[in-house]
Amino acid sequence: MAFQDFVLIHKKNDCISTIHENADGGIIVCSENDSTYQYIYRTGEKFLLIKVDGGLIKRKNNDTKKCDYLLLNVTDDVNLSDIPHSVFIELKGTDLVHAYQQILATIDEYEVDLSGSRFHARIIVSRLHRPQYTTCYHKYRVEFKRRNCSFPDPQEREMTERTGVDGNPTQQNQ
């Protein structure tokens, strides 16, 4: 599917949050559950921020798992399968296991459409419980690697990234 067609279809469903494009670069911010994700983009870059939960994927029932946002690095004339980077973002209170499951379910839903994209999973929680983190991080790390998805440690309260020299999102805070 062509990117422009995708945007037209999904704008009607009110799930396209914003197309971010600025001659001088800028900052994209997603925030909920006392958690914030920020992406600093450079001059010439263009990003599409999509509200997934309640937007792109409407609630069919309470069991439908999906992440909160999807951030796509785009150009006007690209097909979805040619988008270089897709960042799956989950802003969570404290349930880390559910956050992992939501991102994996969303990747499963869109991995065919975004087949040429490098996937990046980002989880920001309002409070990180260390015992839960240690137990489930290693379990889910294998799943993310199997899907060729970059997967840094979950962050507490805030994460800020920018485009690195290799084109991948690069974390600014630790």
Instruction: Say whether pLDDT at 10 is over 70.
Output: no
**pLDDT tens per residue, range 21-70:** 666 778 889 998 899 999 988 887 888 888 888 766 665 555 678 899 99
Q: Considering the chain, what percentage of its residues have pLDDT values greater than 90?
A: 20
Sheet architecture: strand order including 26-32:
26-32, 35-41, 158-163, 169-171
**pLDDT tens per residue, range 140-172:** 888 888 888 998 888 888 999 888 877 788 887
Domain count, the chain: 1
Residue pair 69/29 in contact (Cβ under 8 Å)? The answer is no
Helix then strand then coil, in percent of the chain rounded to 5, is 25, 35, 35
Range of the domain at 69: 3-171
- What residue has token string 């690195």? 164
pLDDT score at 113: 83
Please state the pTM of the whole predicted model.
0.84
Residue pair 145/107 in contact (Cβ under 8 Å)? The answer is no
SS3 sequence, 115-171?
CCCEEEEEEEECCCCHHHHHHHHHHHHHHHHHCCEECCCCEECEEEEEECCCCCEEE
Q: Considering the chain, what percentage of its residues have pLDDT values greater than 70?
A: 76
What mean pLDDT is predicted for residues 3-28? 62
More confident residue, 75 or 16: 75
pLDDT score at 35: 92
Q: For residue 93, what is the DSSP state?
A: S
What mean pLDDT is predicted for residues 108-131? 86
pLDDT score at 166: 79
Which bin fits 138, alpha (ψ -120 to 50), beta or left (φ > 0)?
A: alpha
pLDDT grade, residue 104 (50/70/90)? very high
SS3 sequence, 13-32?
CCCEEEEEECCCCEEEEEEE
pLDDT score at 174: 46
